Amino acid sequence: ARRAPAPPPGTAARHSGRAAGGRLGWQRGHGWFVSFAWPGGGVPAPPLGRKRARLARRAAELPGVRAAAVASSPPLGETGALSVVAAPGARVSIPRDGANLAELAVTPGYFRAMGIAVLTGRSFRPADFAPRAAPVAMVDAAVARAYWGSAANAVGQVLRTANGSFQNTRIIGVAATTRANYGYFQPNYPTAYVPAPGALAPATFTLVLRTWGAGAPPAAGLRRAFHAAGPGFAPGPAMA
């Protein structure tokens, strides 16, 4: 079947920007999102994590592509939840049954590809994704202000989380607050960004690309990037 042509660059961003009052928090225009799936549901994270990283690297090398990354959810899509059971030094009280933050698992380069500003601290590095790396996260400015009063105060703080097992997760950086999750008709959820999941990974992901110009990334090059990442990835159509 013939695939419909991609919409003009920025179409989704312009539409969502109108609905959200024009305040998305991420850069509009020249952004492309390709959803892809791993057949059969969740798979062990280490091999899949390597394939995701390889896909992002190959996509970033394509002509006309400025930055590329993989995320567990597309912009304006539904995210996972990070359960926070304690936040030492925070100025808010955590309920006994925990508090949920929207959770987005990303690869290095996500903030550059999305055009989301990192306000303070640092973004993720490849070492943060190593199998035995200490748990780290980034939070948005809404979380930083609510928990510690400011973005600067959040860096270095620890969230005790309970997703599968209890662990202390150190905050390494603060990103600008966006309307990048749960759709533009819903209030934005305070968000935490984490490296690739540690046990099982979701079956679908999104490749985020930012191009230098208005043209779409080369389709043939994208197919080669998916093929190089390994068998099993099934890309969908590119959306602007």
- Among 203, 190, 4, CA closest to 101: 190
Average pLDDT of the residues of the chain: 76
Global pTM exceeds 0.75 = yes
Share of the chain above pLDDT 90, in %: 25
Q: What is the mean pLDDT of residues 137-161?
A: 94
Q: What percent of the chain has pLDDT over 70?
A: 69
pLDDT for 234 equals: 58
- Separation CA 220–CA 5 (nearest Å): 15
Which has more pLDDT, 5 or 190?
Answer: 190
Q: Which two tokens stand for residue 31?
A: 């952004």
Contact (Cβ atoms closer than 8 angstroms) between residue 154 and residue 144: yes
- Does residue 28 surpass a pLDDT of 90? no
Task: Give the model's pLDDT for residue 93.
Answer: 87
Helix axes 45-60, 219-229, angle to 10 degrees: 150
Burial letters 204-240, b for 16+ CB under 10 A, else e: bbbbbbbbeeeebbeeebbeebbeebeeebebeebbb
Half-sphere exposure of 40 (CA within 13 A, CB side): 6
